[in-house]
Amino acid sequence: MRERTGLLLDPYFSASKLAQVLRDQPALARRAAAGELRFGTVDTWLIWRLSGGRLHRIDPSTAARTLLYNIATLAWDDELLALFDVPRALLPEVVPSAGNAGEIMIAGRALTLHALLCDQQAALFGQGCLAPGSAKCTFGTGAFLLMNSGSAPAHSSHGLLGTVAWQTPALTHYALDGGVFVAGAAVEWLRDEMGIVATAAESDALAQSADPATTPLYIPALAGLAAPFWQPEARGTIFGLSRGSGRAELARATLEGLAQRVADVAGAMQSDAGLPLAALRVDGGPARNRFLMQSLADSLGAEVQVAAEVEATASGVAHMARHHAHGVPLDAIAASWRAAEVYTPQSTAETRAARRARWQRAVALAMEMYAIGPDR
């Protein structure tokens, strides 16, 4: 599965859920085999509805998230379909990310659909990361990093996913993908469950006021550890609490922990790509948190460039539509990207290495603590 789809076998993706529905409901399975049913991700369903049930389509970047699509052959994989017992007649037609995907109706007006893109791949395009080695991180509830890996499928040996970035009529680009499941959600936990901050924005100033000497180390694995560790059993873990650790120190520990988790993924990407990370482009609400962004630059040892356009996903798919419908060159799209703020590392290489080593020891301890073994 990893070789063909770039993914891990995980219920996060479509195949196992679809297989269970068909297994548990034989009547649906019979109708699926007869070609009477249709399956799709959310974008497929939207296109179906907006076209009045005429278009059953998906693009390679989203098809690649199903565990049924071969990212090397750029087609549904017959062996995987047989493994999950999913009839091919159930699946949508795969069309390029940039192209004429058909007409949809909006408020009674027929419009040509020129671009289809999966969420994070759209943000990669919107951030102007069109050259191999360029990378972005979108912050929201989680933090999702993608690195453009060029025109050949990417296979990770460091705990990342390989995926299709986008397909135009002229080329197919691939990407390395790594997700941190808890980012903004960790700050929401400080606000909603702990009452440490009244608003998420307050965490910035509070962290700035903290005493580094009494700030603990916090691994914010509130939904397990995703890339590059893939240990869903892990839990949030705090090391080094002292009598002097208060609200400000916990806020600082949370933001520093988020920066270190992103650095975990970025380090794996650099190892897989064999390329240094010169800069990381970021977007999303938490990218406005100055303390978090400076901590991220210090943890990476690289520039952090905050996008002027907050909604990189929406702008990315719009740019792709412009590229196809109006012939806007990809170079011009990449050159149009602008940074609102740029953060440069303020810590020394020695300090950064020591902090990363300490963090990695703590992660190893946390993973060992929550690992499922014969005694659990």
Q: Which pTM was predicted? A: 0.91
In this prediction, residue 372 carries a pLDDT of 64
Closest CA relative to residue 261, chosen from 208, 210, 305, 218: 218
User: Residues 87, 123: one domain?
Assistant: no
Q: Does any domain span residue 326?
A: yes
Rounded average pLDDT over 310-323: 92
User: Residues 21, 129: one domain?
Assistant: no
User: Residues 136, 61: one domain?
Assistant: no
Residues 326 and 37: their CA atoms lie apart, in Å, by 36
Residues 54 and 48: their CA atoms lie apart, in Å, by 6
* pLDDT band of 10, cuts 50, 70, 90: confident
Instruction: Please list, in sequence order, all residues whose beta carbon lies within 8 angstroms of the beta carbon of residue 286, skipping any fewer than 6 positions away.
Output: 139, 140, 143, 183, 184, 187, 200, 258, 292
HSE-CB at 354 with a 13 A cutoff on CA atoms is: 5
| CA-based end-to-end distance of the chain | 29
User: Residues 38, 127: one domain?
Assistant: no
Q: Does any domain span residue 145?
A: yes
User: Residues 201, 334: one domain?
Assistant: yes
Q: Does any domain span residue 100?
A: no
In one-letter notation, the amino acid at residue 40 is G
Better-scored residue on pLDDT, 370 or 282: 282
In this prediction, residue 374 carries a pLDDT of 47
In one-letter notation, the amino acid at residue 253 is A
In this prediction, residue 12 carries a pLDDT of 81
Q: Does any domain span residue 88?
A: yes
In this prediction, residue 170 carries a pLDDT of 86
Q: Does any domain span residue 182?
A: yes
User: Residues 59, 128: one domain?
Assistant: no
User: Residues 213, 353: one domain?
Assistant: yes
Q: Does any domain span residue 109?
A: no
* Pairing mode of beta strands 57-58, 109-112: unpaired
* pLDDT band of 281, cuts 50, 70, 90: very high
Six-digit token string for 56 = 């059953």
Q: Does any domain span residue 110?
A: no
User: Residues 8, 124: one domain?
Assistant: no
Q: What is the per-residue pLDDT across 193-248, written as a single tens digit (0 to 9) for each?
A: 999 999 999 999 999 999 999 999 999 999 999 999 999 889 999 999 999 999 99
Q: What is the per-residue pLDDT across 186-204, written as a single tens digit (0 to 9) for each?
A: 999 999 999 999 999 999 9
Six-digit token string for 333 = 């799209």
Q: Does any domain span residue 212?
A: yes
User: Residues 67, 150: one domain?
Assistant: no
152: domain CATH number?
3.30.420.40
Residue 19 belongs to what domain range? 2-95
Rounded average pLDDT over 318-326: 94
Residues 215 and 15: their CA atoms lie apart, in Å, by 43
- Name the domain count of the chain: 2
Q: What is the per-residue pLDDT across 266-276, written as a single tens digit (0 to 9) for each?
A: 999 999 988 88
User: Residues 40, 167: one domain?
Assistant: no
